[in-house]
Structures are given as C-alpha cells and as structure tokens.
Amino acid sequence: MPVRKRIYDFIEPQLDAKSVYDYAMMAAIIFSLVPLAFKQTNLAFEIIDKVTVSIFIVDYILRELTADYKLGRGGWSFVLYPFTFLAIIDLLAILPSFSILASGFRVLKLFRLLRTFRVFKAFKMFRYSRSMSMITSVMKEEAAPLLVVATLALGYIVVSALVIFNVEPETFNTFFDALYWATISLTTMGYGDIYPVTTAGRVVTMISAFVGIAIVALPAGIITAGYMEEVQKRRKRGGEDRTEPK
C-alpha cells in the first residue's frame, strides 16, 4: 500500500469509528481555544498557541498531500482541495498565528484584528465530531427548504422595516434602525432599545411578533426532521454492516 494512502487512512475520520488521530486533533482544538478565554497572554498561552498551530499546519499539509484520495479527481485534487469548505476553515485557523511576521510594521492593528479569526479553530471540530458531521449532512440535505425559509425571513424583515419606518418615522431615524427593529422582532428577542410608541406602531409590532414566531419555528422543524431522518439512515446502515456475511 502506498505511503500516502496509509497517511490518508490514518487522518481521515470515519463516521462509525473514531481513531486515535481524531481524538488527538479534538484535544488540540480544545487546547487551542483556551487562550481565547483570557484577555491577557502569558508564556503558557504562547506555548499552547505555537504547539497547536504547528499541529494544525502538519494536518493541513498531510491533507493537501492526500487530496487525490479525498476528492478523487486526480492531479486536480491538489488544486481544488484548498478551496473546499473544511480546508478554508483549517487555513483560517492557522493564518492569524503568523501575525508576528508584521511586528515591524505600523499595520499592527490590522493584524491584531486577525486574532479574532482564531475562533475558526472551533469549526475544525466539524471534521472530527460524528455529531457535527451528522448536522453538516442534514444542512446539505435540507439546503433547499432552509433557503426558502431564509428568503421568506429576509423578505419579511424588509417589508416590516418599510412599514414601521413609514408608520412611525419619529422613532426610527434611519431605515437601518427599522431593519434592526424588524430583525429583533422576527427573533422575538425584544431588547427594548428601539421600540414604537404610537398605537399604530405597536399594532405593527404585535403582528410582527406573531409572524416572527412562525418563521423562526420553521427552520427548527426542518432541521429536527432532517436530523431524525439522518439518524435512522445511519442506524440502518450500521445494521446492514453488522449483518453482512463475513
């Protein structure tokens, strides 16, 4: 068996069985997030960051070297792999740690902003968690109905904002304020920093809240139904594998 194929079999997570590599990567991801929970930094945090980022770099290189096994498109796999979703997440988790390269420039504030991208390390767990992989599969399967709901919600926000902006222009100084109010009303959060004071405005708010509850409930139902269907598929697949003659 070629060495690259052995590497691929070692690093590629399985849906039904976790490897030592998977657990090690999960541990590295969790450790890499620890410094983000503190405003100050220290030597221990710097060591954690350097070690975990080094692990992520090796992981990225190994996956690039075995991209043809993953994508199955021959030589083009090595070109296409860096543009896949998980590869982009991996890269975003690595790049901010190289901000030290800009220590001699006046654009440090820009590179300090890149530190926020380190939260993408958390998304690397999508690759190594079975539950996360199931959710990803559900999102792909239910992409069409979720897109319809998202379009409905966006249209509802714009229409509600236009209505309230014209019903109560004294309260909402800009259309962005109206959009903000419509979004908060849709999600039924109700922060209370911007709210209508006239009777007509309050009637619009009540209608908006009722409709918002219905719209917000739609994606939850779609995802739940899709998740249960995915669970049944995997259970059935696992049962077939166990009953398969040796």
Question: Would you give per-residue pLDDT tens digits along the chain (246 residues)?
Answer: 688 888 888 887 554 445 788 788 888 888 888 887 777 878 998 899 889 889 989 999 999 999 998 888 888 999 999 998 888 888 887 877 765 444 444 444 444 444 555 556 666 666 666 666 677 778 778 888 888 888 888 888 888 889 888 888 888 888 888 889 888 887 767 677 788 888 888 888 888 888 888 887 888 888 888 878 878 877 776 665 555 554
Angle at 20 between CA 18 and CA 25, to 5 degrees: 90
Class of domain 143-243: mainly alpha
**Whole-structure pTM over 0.75, yes or no?**
no
The pair of structure tokens assigned to 203 is: 């009637």
Place of tokens 């590179």: 111
Which amino acid, residue 144? A
Is residue 130 packed enough to be buried (19+ CB in 10 Å), middle (13-18) or exposed (0-12)? middle
Asked if 188 and 209 count as a contact pair (C-beta separation under 8 A), the reply is yes
Q: Where exactly are the structural domains of the chain? A: 3-128, 143-243
Class of domain 3-128: mainly alpha
Coil, helix or strand at residue 99: helix
Is residue 219 packed enough to be buried (19+ CB in 10 Å), middle (13-18) or exposed (0-12)? middle
3-128 and 143-243 have identical folds: no
